[in-house]
Amino acid sequence: MSQLDNNKVNKLMSYRWVVWGVLAAAYIVVFFHRLAVGVVKDELVNAFNITGTTFGNLGSTYFYAYMLMQIPSGMLADSLGARKTVTVGILVAGAGSIVFGYAPTIFWAFFGRLLVGLGVSVVFISILKIQSEWFKESEFGTMSGITSFVGNIGGLLAKTPLVIMVAYLTWRVSFAAIGVVSIIIAILCYLFARNTPEDMGLPSIAEIEGKEVNEATGGKKFDLIKGLLKVISNPRTWPGFVVFAGFFGAFVTLSGSWGETYLAAVYNIPKVKAANYTMAAVLGMAIGSIVIGRFSDSIKKRKLPMMTFGAVYVVCWGILVFVGGGKPPVGILMPLLFILGFTCPAFVLGWACAKEVNPPEIVGISTSVVNIGGFFGAAILPPLLGRVFDNFGGSMPPVELYHKAFMYSFISSVIGFVFIFLVKETNCRNIYKG
């Protein structure tokens, strides 16, 4: 450390927040689009005359595209670098948002949503790659939580603020405007982000931590295909995948697709007020993401925080689905949804675990494989619920209908919790042995 230029070290420690900050701004766009469709459900159904199943599939198009792009995203982050990958991705997402906003038919709405999903799919893995290059290993869980928190700000913007924006500008103009903002953020990413400190003539994090470079990277560059095969053949990779699938898939059915309509149909809560309830869940997730990441790094454990948060998350879904036959007292709804959101980020530590049980030089690939899980769950569950609404919507009272539909979400959360028991404890350090 004494041989390093202190000015360069100080510049690295300050500029890393600029690099992370512009990418985090892109991640706000990611979360906005992830949850925005549920808020404009009625507008979309009226504009395109679609069924509940078609609406569910329209929302899931984002997640299918996102899911399929995760491994390519990891490869791009590990090879092309985060800067160019995110710049191009957010440009594509911006264009997709504009297409979606001005879609003349349902085909173009699907196409716009597909472009958005493809574009934003590269952002999060690129941020994890940046974190591994610009932040210390002991900061990874904390930074993953902070990143998730900032992303959830986009989710909050996709709730009550979007409802108000749509009321003033229409849903079409609103999505077009978000597309323009996305393009501006893409330009900022290209101007300010850098893949590594070395790109700016600064020392690496490994040097600052007193490690030899070959100690941090293994002293070799991985062939991307061989790296992918190592990750997917590693049984320690997969528990985090299932945890993310089960927990996030269930959360999206409530916060991104059916939450507002559930509150309106079962409790007769007006649309703007209903958005406030689901916003409580998103806010809970944002805060919980920081708390679990910081807690995990501070106690040097991954599995215990995941189990604690996960158990409470399952209980919250149990209350929502079973208490009152699917209609808990309205007075507990706001705190219940907040706690449900707060404990859902048990999956956040799955990214850290994936990084810590696989070769350190392929962080992008290892985290991208686990990241597929959440979007697999988020793509599969909403159409399942949509089918329930289409098949039974005319023959069941709303309480029974949503009880039947949200049972899928409860089961999904239980499956995710069971797989926490299979997560390998890493004590917050890389334990991979080739």
**Alpha carbon of residue 105 to chain centroid:** 29
For residue 426, the 8-state DSSP code is: -
Residues 6+ apart with CB under 8 A from 313: 247, 340, 343, 344, 346, 413, 417
* Max CA distance (Å), the chain: 75
Nearest to 289 by CA among 31, 70, 12, 19: 31
8 A C-beta contact, residue 126 and residue 86: yes
- The residues spanned by each domain of the chain are 6-197+224-420
Q: Render 210-233 in DSSP notation, one character per residue.
A: T--HHHHHTTSPPPHHHHHHHHHT
Residues 6+ apart with CB under 8 A from 73: 85, 121, 122, 125, 126, 364, 368
**Alpha carbon of residue 381 to chain centroid:** 16
Q: Which helix (H) or strand (E) holds 101?
A: helix 82-101
Q: What SS3 class is residue 21?
A: helix
Place of tokens 């986009």: 154
Distance CA 421, CA 45 (A): 42
Report in angstroms the alpha-carbon separations of 56 from 59, 155, 315, 320, 388.
5, 18, 26, 21, 11
Distance CA 54, CA 60 (A): 10
The sign one gets for the Cα dihedral 409, 410, 412, 417 is positive
Q: Please report the pLDDT score of residue 417 as a whole number.
A: 98
Q: What SS3 class is residue 10?
A: helix
For residue 425, the 8-state DSSP code is: P
Give 166-171 contacts, CB < 8 A, sequence gap 24+.
166/39, 166/40, 166/43, 171/40, 171/43, 171/44, 171/47, 171/101
Nearest to 126 by CA among 26, 8, 46: 26
pLDDT truncated to tens, each residue of the chain (434 aa)? Answer: 446 678 888 899 999 999 999 999 999 998 888 778 878 888 998 899 988 778 888 888 888 888 888 888 888 888 889 999 999 999 999 999 999 999 999 999 999 999 999 999 999 889 988 998 899 888 888 888 899 888 888 878 887 788 889 989 999 999 999 999 999 999 999 999 999 999 998 888 878 876 655 444 444 556 778 888 999 999 999 999 999 999 999 998 888 778 888 999 999 998 778 888 988 998 899 899 899 989 998 999 999 999 999 999 999 999 999 998 889 999 999 999 999 999 999 998 998 898 899 988 788 888 888 988 988 898 888 888 888 988 887 788 999 999 999 999 999 999 999 999 999 999 888 888 86
Q: Please report the pLDDT score of residue 216 as a whole number.
A: 43
Q: Please report the pLDDT score of residue 170 as a whole number.
A: 92
The fourth-level CATH superfamily of domain 6-197+224-420 is MFS general substrate transporter like domains (1.20.1250.20)
Show the tokens assigned to 237: 């990779």
Residue 358 backbone class (left: φ over 0; alpha: ψ -120 to 50; beta: rest): beta
For residue 137, the 8-state DSSP code is: G
Distance CA 248, CA 261 (A): 19
DSSP E strands in 317-398: the ranges are none
Distance CA 375, CA 66 (A): 7
